[in-house]
Amino acid sequence: MLSAAVLDDVDIFPQRAHAEGLVLRGVPAAHSRRHPPVPLTWAHIDEATHGHDPDSPGARQRLTRWLHLVWWLAELPQEMLRDAARLVGLPQGHVLHPGRGWALGRVLGGTIELGFGVTGLDPARAGDVVIVAPSAVRAAGLDTQGWLPPAAERLSRLSDLAAQRRRRDPRSPLTPYGEADVLTLLAGRALRAQLAGCEGDGLALVAVPMRTRAWTRLSLIDPAYIPLAYAATEPEMRGLPAALLVTEDEVVLARAGQPAEIALRDVGPPEPLQIVLRG
């Protein structure tokens, strides 16, 4: 915490009883400097840096990003956050994946998990969707119960619009629609159904080495291109290093050297996400 305050200019001070934790008073590039201080317990800090050596630069950078996130969440009105909440699709292990507790559900096949992000949360990048870690939500004292219905409805609508665009231009690569990247759009049933139907047998092979672009005409692509494109992409923008098998209901990673299997026996997402995955 001391290194985050000194090196990253985060405004934090110990509470009266140091054992209780600290008080966050502000971060650089905030929406407003007038928000009341946010009390943080050591349990919050421990959760934010879970799995990282506290003495490492990586832990300090992770903590600084987390403190910014807490402050941004705390200073914006609940109504604004609810309207700006989005569902984001990420694979497990992705550098942007907050880890335990973030996923609200997953697309059948287990490749893409869905969790919350908020558009416009970062004042310096107003058009970007910022992934929201559950620990930051709790530290900011927020209730996200009302976020899911509008976020799910928006993802369903964007996936449908992306499917319509694909029908008009089936030869072009898949690209983001609105604020939803390609992995997120594939979490919507409409786009999956359109892709699988175009192949004629209910199954499409899709390469998504980056979150901003995907290819479906893989017979025209060198097989080595997918992992090479994945490795050459910045970690935050990476998609998946192998092709995806896409049906109307599932997204499965086709691993090299292993037979592809569509596992309809997989457990589906929690009931609240039915509007996304079946909408």
Q: How confident is the model over 34-53, as pLDDT tens digits?
A: 778 888 888 888 888 777 77
pTM across the whole model = 0.83
Cβ neighbors of 32 (< 8 A, separation 6 or more) are 75
Rounded Cα distance between 128 and 13, Å, is 30
Percent of the chain with pLDDT over 90: 51
CA 24 to chain CA centroid, nearest Å: 25
DSSP-assigned letters across all residues of 62-112:
HHHHHHHHHHHHHHS-HHHHHHHEEEEEE-TT-TT---TT--SEE-BTSS-
Cα 207–154–184 angle (5° rounding)? 20
Rounded Cα distance between 2 and 17, Å, is 17
Query: Which helix (H) or strand (E) covers residue 61, if one does?
Result: helix 57-75
Q: Is 274's pLDDT higher than 50? A: no
Tell me what pLDDT residue 11 has.
84
Cα 87 to Cα 13, 19, 191, 235, distances in angstroms: 34, 37, 16, 20
Place of tokens 């690209």: 175
Tell me what pLDDT residue 271 has.
40
Give the pLDDT band of residue 265 (cuts 50, 70, 90): very low
Tell me what pLDDT residue 264 has.
42
Phi, psi of 115, rounded to the nearest 5 degrees = -150, 180
Q: How confident is the model over 155-204, as pLDDT tens digits?
A: 999 999 999 999 999 889 999 999 999 999 999 999 999 999 875 578 89
